[in-house]
Structure 1
């Protein structure tokens, strides 16, 4: 029992010696601060649900979750004008048990079909799956107020691309452009402004423009927003100025989405 203090002193001396012999600095764990466009408030999500927060709209929820807003509306019995309220728990997609495997008579083939695939498209739209073969959007709704095709795509800025698109899990889901504070940001195509604001964490001041029943574009980190929701804009119209809201540097983060899925804008923008 009398040797215990000596053992403690010896152990402490060894620990001090080990620490003093370290040549490299102690490792630092970097805490993710949500300063990139990829960040969303994870606590609001589960595998198939989302809890509405202040400032959310069905469009912003669709944008964050990558789901078609029409599917979300149908799953939750929400009708136009799609009013939602903070604290409301929304189902984003059916559970795997709702997927039914059906066979085609006489073909020997089978396909997976989700019960929420067929939705009557209303006059306001949002997003859902990518289609790698799509070059121009042809709408499926004869009653849509949007054009059946996107006539032209324009660059949202004359500035240089500093970061390209990546389809990896944590890749850049659009294009990043450099620039100076106040540089003009232009609508990439004609359409209707469906969202302006800063409710999407990591995007800063954001503008989302709907171009057709399935195509949308987003312009993030703006300094000032020059358009209002529900306003129609023409291709090339100045809709915002470049800033660093939600970012450490002045830049434009630009995305194009087809039915909610991020796609490479370079597939549509004209060659420079």
Structure 2
């Protein structure tokens, strides 16, 4: 188990975005008959909502799998189960030993927004100035979000105030990637950058430059891959970004 909470958070966010990550899971697990049970050690300051979106899960899933009547009752040092029991996994059409963040269908319709999406505003701004070249969708690589066009080197901005929890190129399929955690529920991700201008742990304000736009491998034009997630659930960024005239 990773000892540094910030580093643990960064790697957990990688699992959140990575399809098919079962073989890369480096957290705790235990055997239960023929299946693996994946475990997460609660860190000081964790909330169930934060743990859920780190691992691409819903709060109600964690409550059910861990028999938590009150989502506020988790304690630092306790372990939470991150995958469903065998009977639920079979009934729901998912493998019982599926690792956190793993997706089985790589081509699928965008999931609906969370039923209890927050009704507060974070003061969102557009992360880049170009036109939306691809609207909200889930592509064959398992990524959900929008593609914003532009030119190589264009400024990529933080879409709202928050903390940089990942800045690097360790996640295959996203190129140089920045992830910003805005609060316990909201996260935004910025992929395919030419250069990264922020470090993990850095606080940013909405509109601050965080990267330079680049190109996805094989692409003819530069673009920014942009995602917003609530409790780990992907949502359409254009539902949150302000209207604009181009």
Same fold per superposition (TM over 0.5): yes
Equivalent residue number for residue 212 of structure 1: 183
CA distance in 1 between counterparts of 2:132 and 2:170 reads 26
Which structure is larger by alpha-carbon Rg, 1 or 2? 1
Equivalent residue number for residue 186 of structure 1: 157
Equivalent residue number for residue 62 of structure 1: 16
Equivalent residue number for residue 212 of structure 2: 241
> Alpha carbons of 1:265 and 1:66: their partners in 2 closer, same or farther (altered >3 Å)?
farther
**Residues 44-100 of structure 1: CA distance to partner in whole angstroms, max 9, x if unpaired?**
xxxxxxxxxxxx812211232699xxxx88923364699xxxxxxxxx799xxxx9x
Out of 223, 231, 238, the residue aligned to residue 259 of structure 1 is 231
CA distance in 2 between counterparts of 1:236 and 1:158 reads 11
Give the TM-score, by structure 1 length. Answer: 0.53
> Alpha carbons of 1:93 and 1:267: their partners in 2 closer, same or farther (altered >3 Å)?
closer
SS of alignment partner, residue 266 of structure 1: helix
Q: Which has the higher strand share?
A: 2
> Alpha carbons of 1:136 and 1:186: their partners in 2 closer, same or farther (altered >3 Å)?
farther
> Alpha carbons of 1:187 and 1:66: their partners in 2 closer, same or farther (altered >3 Å)?
farther
**Residues 83-141 of structure 1: CA distance to partner in whole angstroms, max 9, x if unpaired?**
xxxxxxxxx799xxxx9xxxxxxxxxxxx93217647498xxxx99951452545xxxx
CA distance in 2 between counterparts of 1:225 and 1:241 reads 7
Deviation at 1:172, TM superposition (A): 5.8
Report whether the alignment pairs 1:114 with 2:114: no
SS of alignment partner, residue 137 of structure 2: coil
> Alpha carbons of 1:187 and 1:116: their partners in 2 closer, same or farther (altered >3 Å)?
farther
8 Å Cα contact 1:175-1:254 kept in structure 2: yes
CA distance in 1 between counterparts of 2:114 and 2:212 reads 31
How large is the RMSD of aligned CA atoms in angstroms? 3.8
CA distance in 1 between counterparts of 2:139 and 2:219 reads 23
Out of 124, 137, 144, the residue aligned to residue 153 of structure 1 is 124
CA distance in 2 between counterparts of 1:201 and 1:154 reads 27
The gaps in structure 2 that reach 5 residues or longer are 1-9, 22-26, 29-37, 47-54, 77-99, 102-111
CA distance in 2 between counterparts of 1:191 and 1:172 reads 22
8 Å Cα contact 1:173-1:255 kept in structure 2: yes
The gaps in structure 1 that reach 5 residues or longer are 1-55, 83-91, 100-111, 138-149
**Residues 166-185 of structure 1: CA distance to partner in whole angstroms, max 9, x if unpaired?**
26887761110111110001
Equivalent residue number for residue 50 of structure 2: none
SS of alignment partner, residue 136 of structure 2: coil
Report whether the alignment pairs 1:134 with 2:117: yes
Equivalent positions of 1:76-95 (< 5 A) are: 76-77=40-41, 79=43
> Alpha carbons of 1:132 and 1:158: their partners in 2 closer, same or farther (altered >3 Å)?
farther
CA distance in 1 between counterparts of 2:208 and 2:144 reads 23
CA distance in 1 between counterparts of 2:115 and 2:166 reads 26
